[in-house]
Structure 1
């Protein structure tokens, strides 16, 4: 079951905490290491975004444990985790050292965690209609792996 937190602390503080944790080893934003046994996903979302709640339910149904932070401004979290402007979406998550931006399917995240590429993470840029949480069939979309030595590339097509 997801734990929800209100946005009582300014978003800039969350960004600074994330950046500090990354520097001190609390959150690794560049991949590597061993997979976390619990597969906990920490997600930051806006209180106004209902589709983010749909993605959280999708991830829980896939067996992940989610820790949800509901905050007014997610942009500092995106910046602290190196999400490129062109790959931004509505919510940002961190799972076992990788950043997950937007409505990335659970299967793509499982493959990322199993293969452990040298990358910052995955993104489903924008808000694709057919993605988990949006659930309106008909719009093909790509999931992008970013922060790799080769640059950003298509990781999966849906």
Structure 2
């Protein structure tokens, strides 16, 4: 298992967008919240930051975020279904926090479905805390989101 920082020249953006979409589509209870085009657009942005988890040269998980000044917002965390329950998402989050410290990021934010207690518990174990609720944030089905954040540096 190897965590790799995504560099635009190392991957075909359209192929990577398809792989990330497929991981989300199978791993999220309600399917991928993003289309392949949305992934492709995000991967092309200068402020986007992706860590990919590879096993035997296959991407099996990833975390994506957007960097804005001294903050980061996690957009997606996903692990392929066959690799869930092995601590891979925790490894990705931990590595992301380490790299955000190195980039002088102060705080990391994310939203998570109110019903996704497994993810909420993972985030809490990685020092994220609940800040509030975004009403009707998710579609397919409509659901509130818990806003969470973790301070990366004091």
Same fold (TM over 0.5): no
Higher helix share: 2
Higher strand share: 2
The TM-score, its normalising length taken from structure 2, stands at 0.34
The TM-score, its normalising length taken from structure 1, stands at 0.33
